[in-house]
Chains A and B, each alone.
Chain A
Amino acid sequence: MKKRILQRISDSAVWRSIFRTGIPDTDLKRSMLMFHNFFLHIFPVKMKRHGLQFSYTFCLGGISCLLFIVLTITGILLMFHYTPSIERAYFDMQALALIFNGKILRNLHRWAAHGMVVTVFLHMVRVFYTRSYRPPREFNWVIGIGLLILTLALSYTGYLLPWDQLAYWGITVGTTIMTYTPFIGNYVRFFLLGADEVGHEALLRFYVVHCVELPLIIGALMAVHFWRVRKDGGISGLL
C-alpha cells in the first residue's frame, strides 16, 4: 500500500519533471539520482568504503563547510538589521534582541563563527596526521592553508562590527600587533583601518570586507578545494 503510493508519486509527470529518476531501487537509478541532481552531482556516484569511515575524517571538512553555509544564511539575515556606522551599529545590535528571533540569529552567527575557526584548524590537524597531503594532494593542502587564513580574517573582520568595547579594543590590540611589521608597520595598519585610529572608516572597511569580499573569495576557494578532493581521487587511502 505505502509502496504503491510512493510509486504513484514518483511516476507522476510532475515528479518526473523535477527529479528524473523514480524510486532508486537499482544501482542504475541510484547513480542517476546522484548524477542528474545539481546539488548532488558534486559527489561521485560511488565512493570508497573507507572514505565514509567517521574516525578517518571526523567529518571536519564537511562540518566546516556546513558552518560556513549557516554563517552565510544568518549573516545575510543579520545584514537586514545592521547599519555600518558608529552612530548606529551598537544600537542596531541592542535592537536585535527585541526582534523576534533576532537574538538567536546573532547567537547562531557568533557561535558558528567561533566553531568554524576550531573545526578548520582541527581539519588541518586531521589531514596532517593521516598524511593526506602527499602527492597528488600537495596543492589542495596549500589551498587549505589559504582557507585557514581566510577563515581567521573573516572571523576577525566580523569581530569589530558590534561596535562595543570588546570589538573596539579587540581590533585596536590586533592592529597594534600588525604595526610591529618592520618598515611598513604603520602603513599596514593605516591600510586596514583607513585612518590612524579605529573609527568610522575602519568599521565601513571591515563591514565591506566581511560581508562581500572575503565570503566571495573563500567561497570560490572552497569550490576549488572540493573539486580537487574529487580530482585527486577522493578521500586519501588509509596510511
Chain B
Amino acid sequence: MDKNQDKVFVKDPNKTYGLMEIVEGTSPMVEKAPEDTVDTFPHYIILLTICSLAVTFALLLISLFFDAPLEDLANPLITPNPGKAPWYFTGIQELIHYTNKPVIPAIIIPLLIIVWLILIPYIDRKPLTPFASLFNRIFIGGEKRRILIYLFTLFIFGALIFTIIGSLFRGENWSFVLPWK
C-alpha cells in the first residue's frame, strides 16, 4: 500500500482488527482505499476519439480552403527584401535588429532560455537547507512561486510580441510597416 492509503487505513498498533466500510462501486476492492478513478474504456476512449476526430476534421477543413505557399523557384541572385526566417525564428531576427552585437540575441539569449527552462523543475522544489530556502525566495518567490511565474509569463509574452512584430510588422530593410496597408 502506498503512502496515500496509509492515511485512509490508519494503523493502530494496539488493535488487532482493521476497519472496513461499504463503499459504492462496480467491483470489489481489496486492500485499497476508495479512489476517484474511472474506467479508461469507455470514458477516456470516447473522449480520445472525439478529440482526434475534431482535430483531424478541422485540419482537413483548413487544408481544403488554404493552400500552402509556393513562391518562385529558388534563385540565389534575387534576394527578397526583407528576407525572413520561418515565423518561429522571426522573434530572434527582430531582436538582432536592435543591436550591433548579434551574438547576444542570436546565440546567448536562446541558450540561456533553454538552460533556464531545463533547470526550472530542479530549482522549484521544496527547500531543505537554509541556503536553499534563501535561493528559493530569490529565484522562485516562495511557495506561491511568484517570481518564477512572473519570469515565465514575461518570456511567453516577449516571445509572442517579438515574433508578431518580426513576422507581420516588418517590411523593406526591416522598417516598420502595417500588415493591412
Residue from B59, B88, B114 in contact with A70 in the complex, judged by beta carbons closer than 8 Å: B59
The verdict on B11 contacting chain A, using a C-beta distance below 8 Å, is no
A30 lies within 8 A of B75 (CB):
no
Chain A residues contacting B21 (CB-CB under 8 Å) are none
Say yes or no: A165 contacts B114, CB within 8 Å.
no
Name the prevailing secondary structure of the A interface residues: helix
Flag whether A15 is at the interface (Cβ < 8 A). no
Query: Of B12-20, B44-52, B130-138, which binds chain A?
Result: B44-52
A94 to B75, CA, bound (A): 16
| Least CB distance, A204 to chain B, in whole angstroms | 14
Q: For residue B87, give the distance in angstroms from its CB to the closest CB of chain A.
A: 8
Does the CB pair A137–B118 fall under 8 Å?
A: no
How does the 8 Å CB contact mask read for B37-71 relative to A, with 1 for contact and 0 for none? 11111111101100110011001101110111111
| Most interface-central of B59, B96, B124 (chain A CB within 10 A) | B59
Contacting B at CB under 8 A, from A58-94, are 59, 62-63, 66-67, 70, 86, 90, 93-94
Instruction: Tell me if A62 and B75 are in contact (CB < 8 A).
Output: no
A110 proximity list for chain B (CB < 8 A) = 68
Q: Given the interface contacts A62-B51, A90-B74, A164-B71, does A173 sit within 8 Å of B41 by beta carbon?
A: no
- Is B86 in contact with A170, judged by CB distance below 8 angstroms? yes
Interface membership of chain B positions 9-31, coded 1 if the CB is closer than 8 angstroms to chain A and 0 otherwise: 00000000000000000110000
Which residues of chain B are within 8 angstroms of A46 by Cβ–Cβ distance? 37-40
B140–chain A nearest beta-carbon distance, Å: 11
CB <8 Å contact, B63 and A47: no
CB distance from A44 to the nearest CB of B (A): 6
Residues of A within 8 A of B59 (CB): 67, 70, 108, 111-112, 115
Decide if A173 touches B93 in the complex (CB within 8 Å). Answer: yes
- B179 located at the interface, meaning its Cβ lies under 8 Å from any Cβ of chain A in the complex: no
Residue of B71, B84, B92 ringed by the most chain A CB atoms within 10 A: B71
> Please, which residues of chain A bring their CB within 8 A of the CB of B47?
52, 54
Indicate if A187 sits at the interface (CB-CB under 8 A).
no
**Alpha-carbon distance between A114 and B66 when the two chains are bound, in angstroms:** 13
Interface contact A27-B27, CB-CB below 8 Å: yes
Task: List residues of chain B with CB within 8 A of the CB of A11.
Answer: none
Interface of B toward A, CB cutoff 8 Å: 26-27, 35-45, 47-48, 51-52, 55-56, 59-60, 62-64, 66-76, 78-80, 83-89, 92-93, 96, 102-103, 106-107, 114, 117-118, 120-122, 124-125, 145, 149, 152, 156
Kindly list the 6 A-B residue pairs having the minimum CB-CB distance in the complex, ordered from nearest: A168-B74, A107-B63, A138-B121, A110-B68, A133-B121, A180-B106
